[in-house]
Amino acid sequence: MSVVAVALGLLGAFFFMAGTVGLLRLPDFYSRAHAAAKCDTVGAGSILLALAIALGPGLAGLKLLGLVILILIAGPTASHALARAADRRGIEPWTREEG
């Protein structure tokens, strides 16, 4: 059990790391938002999942699972709303020819 938990935790940490690097290095708003969304969904999601597994069956673990579901719903919605708002504002996506 704990092997799975550790693996999931490491996976989450990796996605957080990758997302943060992407946030700093990617060229425009849309790609940065894309990277940040990974931190939320996959990163936080798998870390919470790891914690739920580590805690074992019980109320606390169930609450954590609920949180995972909430994050899986809320994270992508927020990214979608952000990207849509940026598009409405007329922010152009980056393309190689311009840069």
Contacting residues toward other proteins, per CB under 8 A: 70, 73-74, 77, 80-81, 84
> How far is residue 61's CA from residue 95's CA, in Å, rounded to a whole number?
44
Nearest distance, CB of residue 61 and other proteins, angstroms: 18
Nearest distance, CB of residue 41 and other proteins, angstroms: 14
> How far is residue 8's CA from residue 48's CA, in Å, rounded to a whole number?
9
Nearest distance, CB of residue 60 and other proteins, angstroms: 13
Q: Which is nearer to other proteins, 11 or 55 (CB)?
A: 55
How far is the CA of 91 from the CAs of 28, 29, 79, 84, 94, in angstroms? 9, 8, 15, 10, 9
Nearest distance, CB of residue 84 and other proteins, angstroms: 5
Contacts of 39 (CB under 8 A, 6+ apart): 15, 16, 19, 20, 23
Q: Which is nearer to other proteins, 25 or 84 (CB)?
A: 84
Q: Which is nearer to other proteins, 74 or 91 (CB)?
A: 74
